[in-house]
């Protein structure tokens, strides 16, 4: 069993578009990410809901990356960088003007190295 688990960790994961079949995994990763960031509160859940609505708004000419989470066993292999390159390439191909995200302290160096800059974003929730 341990040999099989090690073998699975050594494989290079392939990138693909997410689908509705991935909902449970995405929700789990989002929860784990907020747990690790210490934001697992009612206020954080409201923020998640607000960001989700904004990301799904088709009139926006920007992309919102809701979360990037790498399971601990797969970290430090460049997976998040590969994923973000794919996201950025896709956004350019779609003609989007910008990509936004909220970075954790752990993720900030990656995003800065990809050209993301800090902003003083403010938001008013009306719902």
Q: Please report whether residue 7 resides in a domain.
A: no
- Average pLDDT for residues 29-50, to the nearest whole number? 68
Percent of the chain with pLDDT over 70: 63
Within a domain: 3: no
Answer yes or no: is 125 within a domain.
Answer: no
- Mean pLDDT value across the chain: 76
- Domain with 100, as residue range(s), is 21-113
Total domain count for the chain? Answer: 1
Q: Can you spell out the DSSP letters for 15-32?
A: P----GGGHHHHHHHHHH
Mean pLDDT to the nearest integer, 86-108? 89
Under 8 Å between Cβ of 107 and 81: no
pLDDT at 29: 75
62, 96 in Cβ contact below 8 A? yes
CA–CA distance, 34 with 37 (Å, rounded to integer): 5
122 domain-assigned:
no
Residue 14 belongs to some domain of the structure: no
Q: Is the per-residue pLDDT at 6 higher than 70?
A: no
- The counts of H helices and E strands in the chain are 5, 2
């Amino acid at each position: 069993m341990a040999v099989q688990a090690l073998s699975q960790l050594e494989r290079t994961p392939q990138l693909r578009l997410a689908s509705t079949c991935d909902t449970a995994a995405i929700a789990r990763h989002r929860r784990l990410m907020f747990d690790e960031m210490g934001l697992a509160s009612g206020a954080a859940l409201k923020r998640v809901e607000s960001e989700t609505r904004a990301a799904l708004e088709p009139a926006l000419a920007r992309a919102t990356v809701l979360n990037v989470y790498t399971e601990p066993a797969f970290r430090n292999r460049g997976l998040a960088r590969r994923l973000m390159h794919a996201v950025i390439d896709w956004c350019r191909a779609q003609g989007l003007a910008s990509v936004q995200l909220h970075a954790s302290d752990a993720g900030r160096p990656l995003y800065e190295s990809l050209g993301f800059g800090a902003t003083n974003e403010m938001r008013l929730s009306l719902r």
